[in-house]
Structure 1
Amino acid sequence: MTENSHLEPALISPVVGGMVRTWTEGESALWTVDDPGALGALLGHGQVARTMMPDNRFREIVLLDSETKTLFVQPRFATPGDGTAELLAKPFELGDPTTPADLTAVGTDRWEELESLLASVAISAAGRREFWLAELGGWEAPHQPNFLFTVVEEHGVATAVMEATPAPVGSDVWPDAPRGRSNVSVSAPASQDTVEAAGIFAVSAIETWKTTPWDVVLTFGRLSEFT
């Protein structure tokens, strides 16, 4: 970074199709990334700096210089023995921005990519004893719609729990919502297969939001504070 850089904190979507969406306080843009594999491996796995959200929840945050089209990832924790947290973990070069509205159709392969990514996020979060939600991006986005995943333990038995609000309509994987409820949940004994199934259930819910994979952000919370 240089003294003349214009860095802004930005929320960030998952990396899908080599692209990522950012939300600064003033605008949102969709970018191509020079190394999507490296950026995607960092996001959603507890390694990236976070910003506080309501209800003691957190979202990952990056630093964006839209003039130089450069994105900086801050580490969540200081390097052991370093004494201070390094601001820059890895710089990523971005292509010319577009607007998410330019994407009028999303291919099946992009949804499958998001499904695989969220399965990996679920495994990682369970290992850190965190729950997570997929929600619409933005600093002042609504709390609904959302998809929630967590693993809870009771009497020594771990259970994977998934909840969609509102209940997806016409889904092949979600059951109908119980009478009088707007959301729906499913659960199963926790195993690698049932935790990874979060990707399938999340994408099935997100597709009913009439949105794209780049409209989504992930929100995390400590399992000890899960209600």
Structure 2
Amino acid sequence: MPISFDTTGFRQLDQNTWQHPNGDQADLAYYNLVPDLPAGLDDLPKLRHDLALIHGETGCLIEAHVVQLAGVPALLRIVKMPLPNQPNGQVFLCSFTIPKANCSAVLQLGALERGMTGAREAVLASEIGFEQWVKPHPYAPELQGVLPFHAGDDPRYDARFPDHPLSRVRAWAHHVVRTARVDPPFASLPPFQVQAPPPPVAPGQTLVTALPSLPVKDFVGLQIGDQTTYWRTTDPKLKDMLGRGLMGRSPLTDTRFRDMLLIDVNTGEAMIPDRFTTDGNMTAHGTHLVQVTLPEADAELSDDDVMNAFRWAGRMCGEAAERGEYLSLEPVQSQGEQADPHVLLAVQQREGQQVVIAQFSPPPVEGPLAGSPSRSAPATPESVEGIGVIAGMAVNEWRSHPLRLAITYKRPAG
């Protein structure tokens, strides 16, 4: 792994996971993808603003800074989110991201409130005064997020509440900044840079909305109205953004959404809109697609290509869980309420453990999953990826080409 850190006091669970006796868990991850940051480390105001909006959808960004890990610039984030499937309590996440041009490394610590929750907030709110408690977010004053930005998260109070999970992740962050090391070959890679905005729409160009399918190798299906068309990608932009909550979304219902792009079907010129705006301005990324037939695409795909597509779907399930969402794998032409056939993929908290789940509707009637309405396993990087393969085994009964399948984001009602 590109980052190494002091694991004193932690017990190693697997190659990239460590757990402290207090329950805090540290994870190391490497992503062989263009980083999904909305701005570069050299534009901290925009980076903070857009990250506040992104994290506001599932919790609250408490603070974000550019720091040095052994002389290498890194993004430090501290975020709070509601405990999944719990009426009370929060989880605090502290992460260091070192973004490079085509990859990134992330070191993260998660700390959960346990036992009596909200004690820090209750004590401080009574002292500070409830009328001074909730404050406009310093990075995005217009934000109304899932959790409020409030006075009680100020670091000046950490010393009074050293056992609080926010105090613990901050203390860990300071220790990591002092002691972490970065692999020299990784440190020397070209830095991350935000792509320039696409050129303006050419005169006479007509863009229509298209909803993409599961990407398979260099191909993607696009649902345009009631017609499914098939396209070859000419660069990695679309696949780098698909499934990660970065693209503009098209709502199917109040709680169901799909990624969307804009394309001129005559030229294949397309624009991939960013999901979030900055100061009210929409940004987008230009790309070019080449239309093909389904038999032409299928002739270039191997069984491994198809399995890799389902493994990718599993990984996207894991990323969706971090946004408080889960996924539905379903026919791309299904554009309304949830209907059969579909497979739900989710990572959920069950009895204090993260579990990855696939639910089949209808249950398979043949093969190794016959009669099974669902499969689950403790959530690990391997099982999260593997659940996508299990989903692929289930949808095999639909006799539908993977380019005719789509990922739909599902957000719990309320």
Q: How does the TM-score come out when normalised to structure 2?
A: 0.47
Shift, 1:175, TM fit: 4.9
Structure 2 CA distance for aligned equivalents of residues 154 and 120 of structure 1: 20
Stretches of structure 2 that go unaligned for 5 or more consecutive residues are 1-200
My pick for the range that moved more, 191-200 or 213-222, is 191-200
Pair 39,103 (structure 1): closer, same or farther in 2 beyond 3 Å: closer
Shift, 1:211, TM fit: 1.3
Pair 64,140 (structure 1): closer, same or farther in 2 beyond 3 Å: same
Q: Does 1:52 align with 2:52?
A: no
Deviations 1:147-195 (A, max 9, x none): 11112224533322211112223333x2523xxxxxx112223232322
Counterpart of 1:176 in 2: which secondary structure? coil
Q: Which among 96, 99, 111 is matched to residue 293 of structure 2?
A: 99
Cα pair 1:18 1:33 within 8 Å, conserved: yes
Cα pair 1:21 1:29 within 8 Å, conserved: yes
Structure 2 CA distance for aligned equivalents of residues 197 and 189 of structure 1: 11
Q: How does the TM-score come out when normalised to structure 1?
A: 0.83
Q: Which amino acid aligns with 2:349?
A: E
Q: Does 1:132 align with 2:340?
A: no
Structure 1 CA distance for aligned equivalents of residues 324 and 313 of structure 2: 16
Pair 131,189 (structure 1): closer, same or farther in 2 beyond 3 Å: same
Structure 1 CA distance for aligned equivalents of residues 271 and 307 of structure 2: 27
Q: Which amino acid aligns with 1:225?
A: A
Cα pair 1:12 1:217 within 8 Å, conserved: yes
Cα pair 1:13 1:22 within 8 Å, conserved: yes
Shift, 1:54, TM fit: 2.5
Pair 111,26 (structure 1): closer, same or farther in 2 beyond 3 Å: closer
Counterpart of 1:23 in 2: which secondary structure? strand
Structural RMSD (CA)? 2.3
Shift, 1:61, TM fit: 0.9
Counterpart of 2:311 in 1: which secondary structure? helix
- State the match for 2:270 in structure 1: 71
Pair 186,55 (structure 1): closer, same or farther in 2 beyond 3 Å: farther
Structure 2 CA distance for aligned equivalents of residues 152 and 139 of structure 1: 25
Q: Which amino acid aligns with 2:402?
A: P
Pair 67,104 (structure 1): closer, same or farther in 2 beyond 3 Å: closer
Structure 2 CA distance for aligned equivalents of residues 158 and 175 of structure 1: 26
Deviations 1:29-62 (A, max 9, x none): 1111111x33211100111111111251111111
Q: Does 1:84 align with 2:277?
A: no
Compare CA radii of gyration and give the structure with the larger one.
2
Structure 1 CA distance for aligned equivalents of residues 357 and 314 of structure 2: 14
Q: Which among 187, 194, 215 is matched to residue 376 of structure 2?
A: 187
Percent pairwise identity:
25
Structure 1 CA distance for aligned equivalents of residues 397 and 302 of structure 2: 15
Q: Which amino acid aligns with 2:413?
A: E
- State the match for 1:118 in structure 2: 313
- State the match for 1:201 in structure 2: 390
- State the match for 2:229 in structure 1: 29
Counterpart of 1:125 in 2: which secondary structure? helix
Counterpart of 1:225 in 2: which secondary structure? coil
Shift, 1:69, TM fit: 1.1
Structure 1 CA distance for aligned equivalents of residues 413 and 354 of structure 2: 17
Cα pair 2:311 2:387 within 8 Å, conserved: no
- State the match for 1:153 in structure 2: 349
Shift, 1:13, TM fit: 0.9
Q: Does 1:16 align with 2:204?
A: no
Q: Which amino acid aligns with 1:99?
A: T
Cα pair 2:317 2:347 within 8 Å, conserved: no
Cα pair 2:219 2:297 within 8 Å, conserved: no
Shift, 1:200, TM fit: 1.2
Structure 2 CA distance for aligned equivalents of residues 116 and 39 of structure 1: 17
